[in-house]
Structure 1
Amino acid sequence: MRKFNYLFVALLLLLAGNAAVAQEEISDEDLRRYALMMEVVDAMKAEISGLTNEMIRNQEGIDGRRYMELAKANGNAAKLEEMGAKDYEKKFMEVITAMQDERKEAISEVVQILATKMLPDGGKTYKAIKSGLNSDQALKARYEKIEAKMKLGDAGDA
């Protein structure tokens, strides 16, 4: 049993060492490209929010508060029925959800294309950066510095 514990600890150390080496291989240029991708994704997400808000404004009988109530049903027809949703509200929620889902799918496709075309090793580097940002404070600090420089550059262009 003791031998098993030593082997398990050795395996964990080996895996942790490999993860650290992989994250050290992430260059500032990789992080810059990742930050550019995230800017595109954020802009696309903001577009979904803007379109949703516009649709709410243009829908007679529904305001932001009512939309938020109906959105809690997550498209579940039974829950909408329990909430007393009228037929036009149900249809409106279907239309909004379809638009949002279509745009979210487009975002996923864009991320997949950008990750494979903009970063070395395609998806591997993307995944390494994404997971590294959650677990490696040094990598996260480097990323935030690069991201801040990019935002300053954008502000200077305005």
Structure 2
Amino acid sequence: MKKLSYLFVALMLFVAGNTAVAQDEEISNEDLRRYALMMEVVDAMKQEISDITNEMIRNQEGMSGKRYMELSAAKGDDAKLDEMGAKEFEKKFMELVTKEQDERKEAIGEVVQVLATKMLPGGGKTYKAIKSGLASDESLKARYEKIEAQMKLKEDGDA
């Protein structure tokens, strides 16, 4: 019985190993390059959210970056904002900023969905495979980082 258990475990390890290799082979360097381009777009959109938030803070009389960070820790909870001594204009400002950020985050999600569908050969399936692979597969992650670094070098060379 023990021998059968060992054989079963060995078989499972073999299948898992082959599945990882097969998954790695299914994801081509071109797929990774396209994914990296998508992530550049997403990163630029995320940076835009940060830039807009900072501009809103600068333009709001009576609001500083430090105070915004304190209030953002409440995550929109009115009771917590009251505990922090938030004034009415601060609460309204936080609502406005959160609404703006949420709209832009939603837009990022939509852009990712469209780009994944249009840019990657398997669409969302390939996107999900790459995303999960990058979290769990060190060789895939290394390939991706190499491609990402090459892209950054090309960008720096063009600038």
TM value normalised by structure 1: 0.92
Runs of 5+ in structure 2 lacking a partner? none
What residue number does 1:153 align with?
154
- Mapped partners of 2:85, 2:9: distance in 1: 56
Question: How has the CA–CA distance of structure 1 residues 129 and 87 changed in structure 2, closer, same or farther, with 3 Å as cutoff?
Answer: same
Q: Please say if 1:31 is aligned against 2:32.
A: yes
Unmatched 5+ stretches in structure 1: none
Number of the residue aligned with 2:57? 56
Aligned residue runs from structure 1 range 1-158, under 5 A: 7=8, 10-11=11-12, 13-158=14-159
The more displaced of 1-10 and 64-73 is: 1-10
Post-superposition Cα deviations, 1:96-132, rounded to whole Å, max 9, x if no partner, equal: 0000000000001111111111111111111111111
Task: For residue 67 of structure 1, report the CA deviation from its aligned partner.
Answer: 0.2
- Residues 9 and 103 of structure 1: is their aligned pair in 2 closer, same or farther, counting only changes over 3 Å? farther
Paired amino acid for 1:120:
P
User: Per-residue deviation at 1:19?
Assistant: 3.0
**Distance across 2 between alignment mates of 1:99 and 1:8:** 52
Q: Which runs of 4+ in 1 moved over 2 A?
A: 1-17
Contact 1:116–1:123 under 8 Å retained in 2: yes
Q: Does the 8 A contact of 1:23 with 1:128 survive in 2? A: no
Is the 8 Å Cα contact of residues 35 and 147 (structure 1) preserved in structure 2? yes
Q: What is the aligned residue count? A: 158
Secondary structure in structure 2 of the residue aligned to 1:69 = helix
Counterpart amino acid of residue 88 in structure 1: F
Scaled by the length of structure 2, the TM-score of the pair is 0.91
